Structure 1
């Protein structure tokens, strides 16, 4: 996007805010909707919590104990099974939490790599319009408008949102995207709630970020960040939609029904990758730009669950029966690449867009059905026990050009058991075992078989630990875990495939809550021993350390309320990541890095309207780091930047 279009975007943003203020300023003040968003204050533990555009904790949807719940397809929407090929917009979902370890206790059918559970924005009886204006020192920013619209008191309400973003990224490339959502909460009778929804994200003109792949066993020389080397025409155009509906109903104190049917699509009209290959220590490389024909992913998924609860004095028992299913259809491949002469990686490529001669594409279909039963028992003051058993049927068909149709048919029994014991009112012990059949994602852009879908895999997890609730309100969790999966990485021909087995074994620690009357803390640590085994390790083709997995991960988020200054909090976020193997053979290691963010939150009133101003200096020390996108392929991290967000509820 050029400077003129950026300027027009911000003029539109300012006009929208003024119009909203003028239109709604005389209405009766409603309860706050987004001003109260606070991930650190809302986190019950340090395992991962997101509220709005704030996130704290050790884990996210892309990294739980070194694995990705999103890649594994362990997504839930309001607790219901959801096959999601692309991200939700914040216009639809308000928050998400990672369910792993203790937080997976009493959670129906937990998964070995954790579950990410999303919550749709709430709606009630108050009319509320929330606006958020965000700016940063790179020239990027956003305008978000979310509304809560009551229609029939206590019966029907709507939530709707629209947002526009100018995204400035670490390598200097940029994009523009818009997001929109509409959802309803309908309560036709007592105990029944129906939530239909629709959302869409449009991504425009996202230039292909450069990847750096050295020609030998060394890290790429330092690259200047925020300096995009072109080409301007290598833009991605992508559209993501999610729509469907869910319902939850309670009949008395005994019967509960939950059901959901969802549809998700992700369509890329244009898609590019840019890799600086055979990079040398003098900073020169061979630039390869790859373009794809239109790509598509479409998934239909759903769940029907019936539960029966009954009480027995201080004990409560619940039986569950659930059926889940999904179908995912995708088209990928057929890309073509053009290579350019060796040159410095920072040299601008400013030529007309060439013609790419695309090849035939691969069509893939995945169908999966899951049937399960579970028991959940809770004994007040004693503890809890959850036992579940699922049977899954999995079928994949891959139709590649000029090859026979590839067929995969599998089925498996997937047991799980978790238990907790209340030693004292403040101290509890927990433990569990679970097994899963999970997706393993697609081959990365740096691989010879980029965008190829990978097979489903069987995984397992054992964990256990304790939770202590301190008298001051802080909650401490300490646990052990052992997660095992097949190991995928690039082989000697740069084909991304299964090369052995991987085990992540370690200790995780969490402390969250008020440490002092004015100080809130969310602190966590993972001390892990990731190891790869198998024929590849024995033959020396694969190292013992899995690609990109640190042995140490530490995080700290604090908020301190200044005495004598109403509504002002100082914030500090620190993340430390230990050394990581940068290639599958363990010949190169990425050094440890610590990233520090510092800022201030100011809760104030603009007239009769509650507001929140957040200012943060991200990457305070301007630390330079590299992110792995494949064996021996890297992207640069974000340099220091100043961000500002002003949220107002009308």
Structure 2
């Protein structure tokens, strides 16, 4: 076999080269179409538009907001809240083949945020209406900029986003604004510093949850707010940090140091609950008033890597050290019962209660981690990625009564993946990961509401194939299994670990052009989710975890007529299968399909590139109930039309 020469200078991540993966194009994030840039059907987001089987909160049936598997750029990131869009241009779901080049992956997948680029001077402003068909169309503003002088040693990117009047899925009124800055500076010839600061302020009428009595759920007006009009959710989220990285040099160690802080301050996090909901719309109403919740997470990482290149292979060794420290302050909570109401009539309004001062529970998690990784890529395309980590955890908690408690432990974590070419166009891959993932906090309707659950060990194995079918079409198929402890409600209504859960499934992605001018993105997931353990054996819970669909499908088409190159038209359909709606699996929410349609017109306004974008979500106005992991139900939003005008790039 004849080997091609290996270039002496290369980016870290040999497996990415072996698979010839299409990278997530953050540099074009401000001006591009997410469907045009998505390299697979697993999930991508640019700005406010996203496409994919999975989202930043749900991957392979698991809630990544709880699991905490995030990267900010390439930096270790423990997320208290999502970084604002004034700081990041988008995100990509890293599962299957596009996760194989990550040095130390996570079992349930990783959401990777991309910082706003600073590669050139640019500016872009987007003005839009969020509910075009309503009497109150709800305006919003999104602006982004980049500045880079001719010498290129310094750059600055950032943005401003806001809306004085928005509306969310329960008909609740909202307002928000955000600012962000990303300065970058070359320190001499071999080092580069990146700093970032993003602030997001949001206030809206509190969300609503429904607990059915039994049988089919009613259909109240989705635009009519059913909660207490004074109930609200106020949050101020801050993400900031610094990344210091050396430039890769042949025969030298390249080093990256990062520190990322994520802070959430919630003066109010109220919640409206309607329990024992009947088919006729009768329900018992209560409102939970929560004050002064706070989360502050700090993540620090130091890594050093070095490459060794020979004529037939490339090796890379990585040393890793991580420190994570998270503090949680649970809110002061008061619950008020309103009695029996009808979801089809105006819900009685009580007077807003005054603030009651009381002690608050606090908890913390400190995690220390050392790791060693090795990657090898052979010239003919095969590759290996191996990693070993030693993790220490310390948890502490102080109850509202001032009682302190703590526990700690250590664990060995590992990851292994392999890539093997199979013919000229196909590549097989396999991976095995053991990692620690968060379990989130107890939901607001639990007896131990807002209590932080301890992290748990999770395992994933997968086997798959990627095939370049020609003409730009890419096909990916994966078999996977993920297992970890599963929280649930015990007999006393407390939310804690009750069993183990195992997700076994297959996923398929196909992306690329079908014909000139017609691009397609298809995906599907078939999954078998089962609970195991004493809680299942004793009949406390059923075999199926609550709120998880075992069938997902996506079909998306984008068409650019040859005679109308300035225009593009898109349509996508997403299917979500039935979900168990209670712990004993007695009921389930039906499966449903949503359709979104849209068009984009690109033109120039003087010297500026411009575009008009029309997007209709849930075009068929489908009414569908969805159960979450705690058994609470909500409905899909009603049909919504968005219109925007953007200027610049």
TM range (shorter): over 0.9
C-alpha displacement at 1:130, in angstroms? 3.4
Tell me the SS of whatever aligns to 2:66: coil
Q: Is the 8 A contact 1:290 1:336 kept in 2?
A: yes
Is the alpha carbon distance of 1:317 and 1:45 closer, same or farther for their aligned partners in structure 2, counting shifts above 3 Å? same
Report the counterpart of residue 494 of structure 2 in structure 1. 495
Q: Is the 8 A contact 2:30 2:46 kept in 1?
A: no
Report the counterpart of residue 113 of structure 1 in structure 2. 108
C-alpha displacement at 1:234, in angstroms? 0.6
Tell whether 2:93 aligns with 1:98: yes
Q: Over residues 156-185 of structure 1, what are the superposed CA-to-partner deviations in whole Å (9 max), with x where a residue is unaligned?
A: 011121111232112111210101001112
- Distance across 2 between alignment mates of 1:598 and 1:129: 24
- Distance across 2 between alignment mates of 1:276 and 1:112: 35
Report the counterpart of residue 374 of structure 2 in structure 1. 375
Q: Over residues 84-138 of structure 1, what are the superposed CA-to-partner deviations in whole Å (9 max), with x where a residue is unaligned?
A: 1001111110121111121111211111000111111111342434334343234
Report the counterpart of residue 220 of structure 1 in structure 2. 217
Is the alpha carbon distance of 1:349 and 1:648 closer, same or farther for their aligned partners in structure 2, counting shifts above 3 Å? farther
- Distance across 2 between alignment mates of 1:127 and 1:527: 43
- Distance across 2 between alignment mates of 1:122 and 1:218: 51
- Distance across 2 between alignment mates of 1:127 and 1:564: 30
Unpaired runs of 5+ in structure 1? 1-31
Q: Over residues 591-614 of structure 1, what are the superposed CA-to-partner deviations in whole Å (9 max), with x where a residue is unaligned?
A: 110001011111111221101221
Tell me the SS of whatever aligns to 2:36: helix
Q: Is the 8 A contact 1:553 1:575 kept in 2?
A: yes
Is the alpha carbon distance of 1:560 and 1:251 closer, same or farther for their aligned partners in structure 2, counting shifts above 3 Å? closer
Report the counterpart of residue 416 of structure 1 in structure 2. 415
- Distance across 2 between alignment mates of 1:259 and 1:615: 42
Report the counterpart of residue 243 of structure 2 in structure 1. 246
Report the counterpart of residue 80 of structure 2 in structure 1. 85
- Distance across 2 between alignment mates of 1:59 and 1:197: 27
Report the counterpart of residue 548 of structure 1 in structure 2. 547
Q: Over residues 234-275 of structure 1, what are the superposed CA-to-partner deviations in whole Å (9 max), with x where a residue is unaligned?
A: 112210001111022125223211111111110011220110
Give matches, 1:292-371, under 5 Å.
Answer: 292-345=290-343, 346-355=345-354, 357=356, 359-371=358-370
Give matches, 1:90-489, under 5 Å.
Answer: 90-137=85-132, 138=134, 139-151=137-149, 153-165=151-163, 166-204=165-203, 206-214=204-212, 216-254=213-251, 255-345=253-343, 346-355=345-354, 357=356, 359-402=358-401, 404-489=403-488
Tell me the SS of whatever aligns to 2:97: helix
Tell whether 2:73 aligns with 1:75: no
Q: Over residues 583-641 of structure 1, what are the superposed CA-to-partner deviations in whole Å (9 max), with x where a residue is unaligned?
A: 11101111110001011111111221101221111111111112324544211210111
- Distance across 1 between alignment mates of 2:195 and 2:631: 45
Q: Is the 8 A contact 2:172 2:207 kept in 1?
A: yes
C-alpha displacement at 1:331, in angstroms? 0.5
Q: Over residues 519-575 of structure 1, what are the superposed CA-to-partner deviations in whole Å (9 max), with x where a residue is unaligned?
A: 111211100111111111111111111111112100122211123112211101111
- Distance across 2 between alignment mates of 1:463 and 1:33: 31
C-alpha displacement at 1:211, in angstroms? 1.2
C-alpha displacement at 1:491, in angstroms? 2.6
Tell me the SS of whatever aligns to 2:35: helix
- Distance across 1 between alignment mates of 2:120 and 2:39: 28
Is the alpha carbon distance of 1:589 and 1:135 closer, same or farther for their aligned partners in structure 2, counting shifts above 3 Å? closer
Tell me the SS of whatever aligns to 2:536: helix
Report the counterpart of residue 12 of structure 1 in structure 2. none
Residue of 56, 61, 65 corresponding to 2:56: 61
Alpha-carbon RMSD: 1.7
Aligned residues: 617
Give matches, 1:526-537, under 5 Å.
Answer: 526-537=525-536
Q: Is the 8 A contact 1:446 1:629 kept in 2?
A: no
Tell me the SS of whatever aligns to 1:71: helix
Is the alpha carbon distance of 1:603 and 1:35 closer, same or farther for their aligned partners in structure 2, counting shifts above 3 Å? farther
C-alpha displacement at 1:152, in angstroms? 5.7
TM-score by length of 2: 0.92
C-alpha displacement at 1:359, in angstroms? 4.0
Report the counterpart of residue 610 of structure 1 in structure 2. 609
C-alpha displacement at 1:458, in angstroms? 0.7
Q: Is the 8 A contact 2:192 2:246 kept in 1?
A: yes
Unpaired runs of 5+ in structure 2? 1-26
TM-score by length of 1: 0.92
C-alpha displacement at 1:446, in angstroms? 2.8
Q: Is the 8 A contact 1:35 1:612 kept in 2?
A: no
C-alpha displacement at 1:222, in angstroms? 1.8
